Amino acid sequence: MIQFKAKITAIGSYVPEKIMTNEDFAQIVDTNDEWIVSRTGIKERRIAADDEYTSDLGYRAVLDLVSRYNKTIDDVDMIIVCTFTPDVATPSSAAIIQAKLNVKHTGALDLNAACAGFTYGIHLANALITSGLHRKILVIGSETLSKITDYEDRTTCILFGDGAGAVLVEYDEVESSVLAHHMGTEGQKSKNLYCTGISKQLFGEAIHPSNKIVQNGREVYRWAVTTVPEGVQQLLQKASLSIDDVDWFIPHSANLRMIESICERTGLPLDKTLYSLVQYGNTSSATIPLALDAAVKDGRIQKGDHLVLYGFGGGLTHAGLLIRWGI
């Protein structure tokens, strides 16, 4: 078995100032607070300003990390930004953040695994550091979904918000954060959740050319509540642990009803499950770090706790990590 050598040593987060409530949506589409909460659990979401983009949110999350943990990032040798809402097609949002941070000698790349992005990012950082190629990596999950949300579609517009979370991952010879990983993709189901770019077809079928998020929520729900519990079991088997050994479950915050179903099927209790959707909605790659950081700040997560992080969404792709918290 590979001996991982990467440890999460700091965490930070940031959300925009503007709050959009369920009552605000009632002024835009045919909906109300009771309808939204009963189906999603969401009460509020944060919305980026017109001149505020993914790189801005990610940059502020890193500043939060630096100030709280008194970290030096001048020697960061890779910046990974997990997003599918980059500021522009090129340069990458990671390169823009690099410029804002003025870190001179670092690689910079965007990673698009949609809502599984953050777990993919930590997985990649763990691999790069364990291989010996890198020693200090920033992993940032940042999204401005409000800029690609169709506010005329009452079934999807109520879901999405903006936010960012970041972790610093460093080489550690003795104590690794990652204990096990599991991932998979079912690309043939990708037409159930997409946002168009250059192509107007997906697997030979015409797709909606609006450059807005298009989602078949029923099919994504069906896929997630089957796929994620199976993945959690795989993680625990790889680490020779049981459900009882898990201190906190942190799934992607897509929908509270979905999380409840996943918990029921895995045997993980809802009171040991952390999610960020009530205040922030679905922020894609940022949902997991936002939930994680909130629990670190209020002391629920303690050093030595076993955490299961599980991202899932567009692709359709999923990725889980079993982590021992070491801060």
The three-state secondary structure class of 44 is: strand
Mean pLDDT of 237-241: 94
Q: Tens digit of pLDDT for each residue in 116-128?
A: 999 999 999 999 9
Residue 238 amino acid letter: K
Residues forming the active site? 115, 252, 282
Cβ–Cβ contacts within 10 Å for residue 189, how many?
Answer: 17
- The two beta strands, 136-144 and 162-171, are antiparallel
The three-state secondary structure class of 323 is: strand
Cα 192 to Cα 87, 222, 223, 228, 286: the distances in Å are: 24, 11, 10, 17, 21
Question: Is the per-residue pLDDT at 190 higher than 90?
Answer: no
Least confident piece of the model among 54-68, 152-166, 237-251: 152-166
CB 46 within 8 A of CB 142: no
Question: Is the per-residue pLDDT at 198 higher than 60?
Answer: no
Domains of the chain: 6-171 (3.40.47.10), 178-324 (3.40.47.10)
pTM, two decimals, is: 0.93
199 pLDDT band (50/70/90 cuts)? very low
Phi, psi (deg, nearest 5) at residue 199? -75, 145
Q: Tens digit of pLDDT for each residue in 94-145?
A: 999 999 999 999 999 999 999 999 999 999 999 999 999 999 999 999 999 9
Cα 67 to Cα 62, 127, 272: the distances in Å are: 9, 27, 29
82 strand-pairing partners: 111, 141
Average pLDDT, the chain: 92
* Whole-angstrom distance, CA of residue 196 vs CA of residue 36: 26
